[in-house]
Structure 1
């Protein structure tokens, strides 16, 4: 799935759509250069899942944990780690989180659980481009639910 995001509101709308259609448990790899919108997308997703209060960027803490329905969502930013071995000290147990949002996942390599969904963001003119790729059956079903939701919204706008 490929979408153009003309502004921050569109990036946030994509995050809200991801939240509304999310599976019970998933790992999301958020990829893109600095300023591509990874944290904006993650914040909108977490806010839609009911996270209240501050949603901090994990740039310096490496991981922020948030209560969501069914357990915890973990937002990781691995930009500052030197090697995947540093993740051992974060106390990340694969079964403890129902949602992983991982920025800079390539720096965590094999120390991370496998992704269900890859979201690649990049600056595109005045906006952004997002490419969502299912990396598992869970991720592929997630994209299908998002596509169906978008089609229903478009149909209701045309009939209204």
Structure 2
């Protein structure tokens, strides 16, 4: 998959938050709400654009470097548009795509894309140790639900 295809996709908010958490550490609810509003992510949105993904990753990076300093929008935009940050995000997305790994919270959507209609309740029933916070192979989940 080339960079242009990745930049035109939408990404689950849970994936973006997990990526930002790897950079920053535990993100408080208030901080996450502020970061989402800075990136112009509508309230309740489950999917976000690549540009919003980069913007949130840039905020996490700058917050890690300067926890107490006030950030300027232009500073965040400059980092979000930098080739280094975008290249690292594309590399992570390609790795996840190649491994078929998905977060438990995205399992229902991923399975529906592959033609399996399943509810969260049935995932918990059929997979005793299922967790929304773990990562699973999509092929593994398909085999368990077959």
How does the TM-score come out when normalised to structure 2? 0.31
Structure whose residues are more often strand by fraction: 1
More helix by share: 2
Larger radius of gyration between Structure 1 and Structure 2:
2
TM-score by length of 1: 0.29
